[in-house]
Chain A
Amino acid sequence: MKKISLFVSFMSLLFAGAVNAHGPVRGKLTASVTINASAEQVWDVIKNYDDMSWHPSIKSTTADKGNKKGSVRVLTLANGGTITEEMKAYKANKMSYKYKIIDMSTTGTVHHAGQDEPIPVLPVENYAATLSVKDKGGKSVVTWVATYYRGYVNNNPPAELNEEAADKAVTAVLTDGLASLAQKFDASASSSDVKIKLKR
């Protein structure tokens, strides 16, 4: 884990190339879904930082300071992994909050360029996200925006820690979460109702 935190520090500032060239670029993935319910009703389901039960991949959630800035929550995933996140801002009046990942468990390692590189449960670095709900003519639009770098800091990442792996994993987390949230209000909702926009 020590190594991971070192990665986090290094990763956070890299702007250099992608895919075939010179290191990572921060990606910005926006997922959104329109739900046929009032913004207040939807916000009511997701507003508590210590309750991620609306997300199918998350088994349990604890947070040390509720919805306060700086509150640290630990998400335990269905597969047993954990993600630790820190609350960066909470705006009840705007129905939004943002947080960043400060620690993660790993699923194993990949041997690459002479080293064993740990693979975090979410193969990303310096991940921050904002979750918000807005009213749109009586319906609500839930938007979940994540920014992150790929999991490998140097040139030529292994497949497990490249941009594609990061994008795929984050897309799955956001899509599953929003689809499941939409289903609470409309049983026919599905992941195809979640719009994804990736910029890198």
Chain B
Amino acid sequence: MMKKIITAFSLALWLTADAYAESYAFITNQLDDNVSVLDLNQQRVIEKIAVTGKPAGVAVNQPMRRVYISTPQGGGFAVLDSENLQLIETVEVGGASLGIAVDRLGERVFVADWYENTVDTFDTASLSHIKKIQVGRSPSGMIVSPDNRWLYVANRMDDSISQIDLSTLKIRNTTKVGEHPFGLTVSSDGRRIYSANVESDDVTVLRPDHLKRVATVKVGSRPYAVALALNDSRLFVTNQDDSSVSVIDTETLEQIAEIEVGEKPEGISTHPDDRQVYVANWFDGTVSVIDAKTLEVTETIVAGEGSRAFGEFIIK
């Protein structure tokens, strides 16, 4: 009897561990009109989900097991089930949606519209429209603060970042950064915001209070997006025109390495282990996996044509 219980218990544990260990990366292949699902344990593509409209941006809703894919040519976004790996629904937004983000509770999804200069907010349960927020010109990357109070938006053509209060859905503050900010990320304590500035070839580091600029760090050519790893000690920046990833020590705020990846690296996200960093290479249609500790590329995985994956694309 006891033995049976123990067996059942260990089986349950094993199942739990296994389920938890399942992590996927969702890579938008813009030229293939699909999304490759990369199993991070096997380091290979296990599924391709057709998504029309030139899929570009990605956001994962961890609590609801959903993934949102912006479709610039489809004028909206697609909703994927991250367990069944299927397209559930598509939602119309407006002009050209690109940047996409989810709040930390998984209750709201934010879609930046390139031409309308707006961020549209949707309820994730009903997929109904909550509010349209006017922001700066060509809103691009977005990220929600870990305490779920703020949404940061890169206004690319305005060279600025806006901080939106998620309780009122109004802009609280806007600050100038480098030229053409694109991808954003925020540290897990919420104390630092990083923007990749495409035209000035640098990264701006901001503090959330009054959006004060802390530093500007030079990186490679046409930086696209950013991701943190190793307990936020290192920032990884994709340099589109150098086919490389710059590594910044977040303590000294200096570039400590430049790692060669595939051509036209764009989207970048960190594995739940906080150590492996995944980079989508648009030109090569591959994903490079970087070990944040050794700063070496450990894998290169074929994804599809025009792999973009702009946003947070890994679900655990």
Contact = CB atoms under 8 A, between A and B. Distances in A.
A152 to B, nearest CB: 14
A200 B31 CA distance: 5
5 contacts: A9-B179, A15-B54, A28-B305, A88-B241, A147-B282
A98 to B, nearest CB: 7
Contact of B114 (A16, A147, A199): A16
Nearest to B198: A13
B73 A13 contact: no
A9 B263 CA distance: 19
A25 B308 CA distance: 12
A16 B73 contact: yes
A147 B96 contact: no
Given A9-B199, A16-B114, A25 B305 contact: no
Interface string B144-174: 0000000000001100000000000000000
Nearest to B31: A199
Nearest to A100: B241
B119 interface: no
B117 to A, nearest CB: 13
B136 interface: no
Most chain B CB neighbours (cut-off 10 Å) among A17, A28, A130: A17
Contacts of B242: 88
Given A10-B157, A98-B263, A155-B115, A15 B305 contact: no
Interface in B55-101: 56, 72-73, 75, 95-96, 98
A25 B73 contact: yes
A16 B305 contact: no
A128 interface: yes
Interface residues on B, range: 20 to 34
B72 A17 contact: yes
Contacts of A21: 73, 75, 96
Nearest to B157: A10
B96 A9 contact: no
B311 interface: no
A12 interface: yes
B243 interface: yes
Given A22-B95, A23-B114, A89-B243, A17 B54 contact: yes
A199 B199 contact: no
B222 interface: yes
Interface of A: 9-10, 12-18, 21-23, 25-26, 28, 88-89, 98, 100, 128, 130, 145, 147, 155, 199-200
Contacts of B114: 14-16, 22-23
A130 B222 CA distance: 18
A181 B137 CA distance: 46
B198 A12 contact: yes
B interface SS class: loop
Contacts of A13: 138, 140, 156, 180, 182, 198
Nearest to A22: B96
Contacts of A12: 198, 222
Interface string B236-265: 000001110000000000000000000110
Listed from nearest, the 7 A-B pairs whose CB atoms lie closest are: A16-B96, A17-B73, A22-B96, A199-B31, A16-B72, A15-B72, A15-B56
B178 interface: no
A22 B115 contact: yes
Contacts of A9: 179-180, 198-199
B241 A128 contact: yes
B30 interface: yes
A12 B241 CA distance: 11
Interface in B241-298: 241-243, 263-264, 282-283
A186 to B, nearest CB: 30
A34 B115 CA distance: 43
Nearest to A69: B242
A23 B96 contact: yes
Nearest to A88: B241
A88 B263 CA distance: 11
Given A16-B115, A98-B263, A25 B30 contact: yes
B246 to A, nearest CB: 15
A15 B30 contact: yes
